[in-house]
Amino acid sequence: MLVYEYVNNGNLEQWLHGAMCQHGILTWEARMKVILGTAKALAYLHEAIEPKVVHRDIKSSNILIDNEFNAKVSDFGLAKLLGSGESHITTRVMGTFGYVAPEYANSGLLNEKSDIYSFGVLLLEAITGRDPVDYARPVNEVNLVEWLKMMVGTSKAEEVVDPGLEVKPTTRVLKHTLLAALRCVDPDADKRPKMSQVVRMLEADEYPIHEARRNRKSRTASMEIEAMKEITGQTDPENMSRDPEGHISETTHA
């Protein structure tokens, strides 16, 4: 028998798209607190225990939120254990459409990098307020990851923020957060960061930039723009093409 802490403040999906919206739009700060808490939970599951735990169904409806907007990762019904001597396991493809890593969807080979991809989608969902897959949108906007890469590749990164946010993040914070997300959804699983590295990237934006670092901040922002374009593989509209692994039609739906 499992006994869970009672959490009565809904989940991230409800706050972004559903019933909890009646209480107001979730602020950027609250979203990032939930996201950072989720990242820390995954870092623990992947790196602090043996065998490591691959959740296999990271999505916004599985991130419960308490009254202080702390994240609680829930629903371990699909989770798998991965021993220290195992680089991956082969298993039936399970998960939720839009969140599943392309290499897992295509081969059934599973490791913690699959969770990291799902987390990247979750982070993009929090940034944009969009569902991972939304067929009500124009065809080139249906898949969140593909659309985001297109926007970044055409220098429209600042247009991706949830329009419902009253106070939007600074340009630097947005680009830094987008860079973290894009690294997580890299189609090459080996290039995705560890969750502990993602935690450090996200924590870097919790603290103010001191006067002595302002010039470095400007240089960092420029480097992040170039890094995002390199990750997306897009520098102008003519170079864009649809990533065949970006939209995974073989996976299960929620």
Digit-coded pLDDT (tens) for 110-159:
999 999 999 999 999 999 999 999 999 999 999 999 999 999 999 999 99
Q: How confident is the model at residue 32, as a pLDDT?
A: 98
Tokens of 218: 């400007």
Tokens of 209: 């930039």
Q: How confident is the model at residue 78, as a pLDDT?
A: 95
Where does the pLDDT of residue 193 fall: very low under 50, low under 70, confident under 90, or very high at 90 and above? very high
Q: How confident is the model at residue 227, as a pLDDT?
A: 63
- The pTM for the full model equals 0.83
Where in the chain are the domains? Answer: 12-239
HSE, CB side, 13 Å, CA atoms: give it for residue 6: 1
* pLDDT beyond 50 at 29: yes
CA separation for the pair 229, 242 (Å, rounded)? 15
In single-letter form, the type of residue at position 252 comes to T
Q: Which residues are catalytic?
A: 57
Apex 129 CA angle, 217 and 237, nearest 5: 65
Element (H, E) at 229: helix 214-232
pLDDT tens for 163-174 read: 999 999 999 999
Q: How confident is the model at residue 84, as a pLDDT?
A: 85
Mean pLDDT to the nearest integer, 241-253: 39
Fold of 12-239: Transferase(Phosphotransferase); domain 1 (1.10.510)
Burial class (CB in 10 A: 0-12, 13-18, 19+), 21: middle
Going by C-alpha positions, the residue among 121, 1, 5, 101 that lies closest to residue 56 is 101
